[in-house]
Chains A and B, each alone.
Chain A
Amino acid sequence: MSAAALPFRRQLLWQKLTGAGFALPAFLLLLALHVVPLLVLAGLSFTDYELGVVTFEWVGLDNYAQAFSDEVFRRSLVNTLYYVAIVLPGSVILSLLVAVLVHQRKRTRSFYEIIYFLPVTSTLIAMATVWQFLLHPSLGVINAALRKLGFGEVPFLSDPDLALPTLAMIGIWQLVGFNMILFLAGLSSIPRDLYEASAIDGVGNGVDRFLTITWPLLGPTTLFVIVTTSITAFKVFDTVAVMTKGGPQGATEVILYAIYLEGFYYFRTAYASVLTLVFLTFVVIFSVIQTFVLDRRTHY
């Protein structure tokens, strides 16, 4: 080794140490706030720990076995997926439609943007209370209107068949504004030239224009909206906790509400850990789809 190489190597090492030093605080925070709690969570899922109890014992996969044979958990998982299946297409298609319509407005555009975005800015817990009043069978405005129109009373929240779809409608109402903003951003990034060129090339009507230019070029935006909407819908909790508490007859039991009940109502921390891990698995799957598919096929 030459004499000159040694100081150079020492300098390189020093640079690496400096870099690591700068990264260290963020790394420690990540460790303390994300990684360690996750490991603790995973560890707890193999025990019989309950909140407040001093000792615990290892029970192996007992909690998992119980979870997957538990009727309530299975129902809450199915209900959650059912909820996602309504909210996802509903809010994506509706927000795309709204965005395309709002985008063509010139003077009134910001007015519509604000109107549709208002639900996003509100606190869902508070709004859920408002919705509960609106939907109330005897006191609510909506049923009063239905009675006036001769449809009779609809028990939105107390009919097991209607409760979850009703919550899904509120979920769509809350998400449309946010998705609309994302779609509007996507629409703005489509060059006007392309619409003009296509008009000359014979893309005459709105449907053709949408299918030939708008929809394909919104592909990246759409995928992003789908993934974020899936995750948000999967996390449904506020409306259930305020309006139905899982009822009627378990028709609106969803994953996050089940976790909340097990962990903070019955204090079965270990069992709640298992449910949390299942929940996280779904979120990770959505995120992985976003990361890989989004990066792969969306750059023109």
Chain B
Amino acid sequence: MAQLDLRGISKSFGDTAVLRDIDLSIADGEFLTLVGPSGCGKSTLIRIIAGLEPQTAGSIAVDGAPIDHLRPHERRVAMVFQSYALYPHMTVFQNLALPLTMARLTMAERLPLLRLLSPRRRRIMAGIGQEVGAVAEQLQIDRLLDRRPAQLSGGQRQRVALGRAMVRHPAVFLMDEPLSNLDAKLRVHMRSELADLHARLRATFVYVTHDQVEAMTMSDRVAMMHGGRIIQLGTPAQLYDRPANLTVAQFIGSPTINLIKGRIGRDDAIEIPGGRIGLATGLPPGAEVTVGLRPEAVVPAPLVPAFQDPVRLPARLHRRENLGPEQILHFDLMGTEKAGLTCRVMGSETVVADEPVDLLFEASACHVFDSAGERVDLPAPVTSSPPPVRPVAPLAGGPGA
């Protein structure tokens, strides 16, 4: 069991900086996910932790002791690769046993022919056999021990790769996009199995993914990376409810957050196309802002929301995606060029297409970002003097006009 501390980790390939001054503490037994678009440096960071790549600057410590000088297998870490990296010429058993044989047998006891001379080897191998069997049973691959990786399905290979990481009882599990080669259904299944595994092993997990759903569903904490930096670190709920900047807001959540360009008006409210939002941002009048709205915060008028004092934006339905229990409705805002809003509504209640409706949301549901894309913390919504709703007259043009 181990706490992992990264201090000032930087990495450059030539002139290209891939990681810039990463500080991160991962608690003992925590499931931390590094998430971000490809090229953000998350894989490089996990490879540096594993010892596969040297950092340009900074230090890594496990339980307070630096491990920078240690070789990969001396670091008490295990890694699951995106490609699984199973040894194709070995059986499942041999794949699982390799970390143990390397650790427990001497060089001579591993050499072909020469190893037959050692009685000690036989005893150790029997012990290894038992441990491998136990891990295989946990992962339900005990019937596959004689097979080669080529004879396994994707899901089975995934389990073997997990097993090979587990046999050594490492302090830290590093996982580099382990689910991305599985089909969608299996991926959902393995997500919950990994979460169960983490709960059972109580080991520290560092998990790399570009899939925000994996990050949100499994992690204790998520570190969102972008351009070689951690741009937000927090629980999944914190990242979703209080995104620190536009990049996080856009990356986390599906469907993607609605973004509306606006500007601070003279009375402190935010003027957006088709309406205004009564929020005191503290920004000077005329400042450019971006307003973020989660799709579930927007409700089309006929669905009667229980909002106190909603902002109303006239819009017209453009496209409907029916997912069964919920619908994703794409609206075009009236009187704007190509500006749209996406709503997520429960049930299958219908909004009639081609008929202008009002979209309702509460000002307090808005995330406001300044012109640099950073979150603007709002003291309180301006509710004292409710701004008059100024619906723009519906235009004659159709959707998307």
Contacts and interface: CB of A to CB of B under 8 A. Distances in A.
Interface in A183-215: 191, 193-194, 196-204, 207-208, 211-213
Contacts of B77: 200
Contacts of A203: 73, 98, 102
A172 B279 CA distance: 84
Contact of B150 (A207, A213, A300): A300
Given A211-B111, A212-B98, A300-B148, A199 B71 contact: yes
B52 interface: yes
A148 B342 CA distance: 89
Interface stretch (B85-93, B190-198, B251-259, B317-325): B85-93
B178 to A, nearest CB: 13
Contacts of B340: none
A300 B87 CA distance: 10
A119 interface: no
B87 A213 contact: yes
B85 A191 contact: yes
Contacts of B51: 199-200
A199 B110 contact: no
Contact of B107 (A193, A208, A300): A208
B81 A217 contact: no
A223 to B, nearest CB: 14
Q: Give the most central of A197, A202, A216, A219: most B CB within 10 Å.
A: A197
B54 interface: no
Interface string B78-122: 110101011111000000001100110001001110000000000
Given A202-B99, A203-B102, A216-B89, A196 B111 contact: no
Contacts of B88: 217, 300
Contact of B85 (A193, A208, A211, A299): A193
B173 to A, nearest CB: 11
A212 B111 CA distance: 10
Nearest to B50: A200
B98 A193 contact: no
Contacts of B150: 299-300
Contact of B73 (A194, A202, A212, A300): A202
Contacts of A216: 89
Contact of A201 (B47, B98, B107, B112): B98
A211 B102 CA distance: 12
Contact of A300 (B72, B89, B110): B89
A202 to B, nearest CB: 3
A66 to B, nearest CB: 46
B263 interface: no
For chain B, the bracket of interface size reads 20 to 34
Nearest to A193: B85
Contacts of B86: 197
B164 interface: yes
B83 A201 contact: no
B89 A201 contact: no
Interface in A147-186: none
A202 B101 CA distance: 9
A201 B102 CA distance: 7
Contacts of A193: 81, 83, 85
Contacts of B87: 194, 197-198, 212-213
Nearest to B161: A197
A199 B71 CA distance: 8
A299 B88 CA distance: 9
A208 B52 contact: no
Interface string B50-80: 1110000000000000000001110001110
Contacts of A197: 79, 81, 85-87, 164
Q: Give the most central of B85, B98, B148: most A CB within 10 Å.
A: B85
Contact of B72 (A199, A219, A299): A199
A105 B272 CA distance: 60
A207 B50 CA distance: 22
B73 A196 contact: no
A39 B180 CA distance: 60
Contacts of B79: 196-197, 200
Interface in B153-180: 164, 168
Given A199-B72, A208-B110, A191 B83 contact: yes
B83 A202 contact: no
Contacts of A208: 102, 107, 110
Contacts of A191: 83, 85
A181 to B, nearest CB: 23
A201 B148 CA distance: 18
A260 to B, nearest CB: 43
B372 to A, nearest CB: 39
A201 B164 contact: yes
Contacts of B110: 208, 211
B63 to A, nearest CB: 19
Given A216-B89, A219-B89, A199 B102 contact: no
Contacts of B107: 207-208
Q: Give the most central of A198, A201, A211: most B CB within 10 Å.
A: A201
Contact of A202 (B52, B103, B111): B103
Q: Give the most central of B73, B77, B87, B149: most A CB within 10 Å.
A: B87
Given A208-B102, A217-B89, A200 B111 contact: no
Nearest to B89: A216
Given A200-B50, A201-B73, 10 more contacts: A194-B87, A196-B81, A199-B52, A199-B73, A201-B98, A202-B98, A202-B102, A211-B110, A211-B112, A300-B150
Interface of A: 191, 193-194, 196-204, 207-208, 211-213, 216-217, 219, 299-300
The 6 closest A-B pairs by CB, nearest first: A202-B102, A300-B88, A197-B85, A193-B85, A202-B73, A201-B99
5 contacts: A199-B73, A200-B78, A202-B99, A204-B73, A211-B111
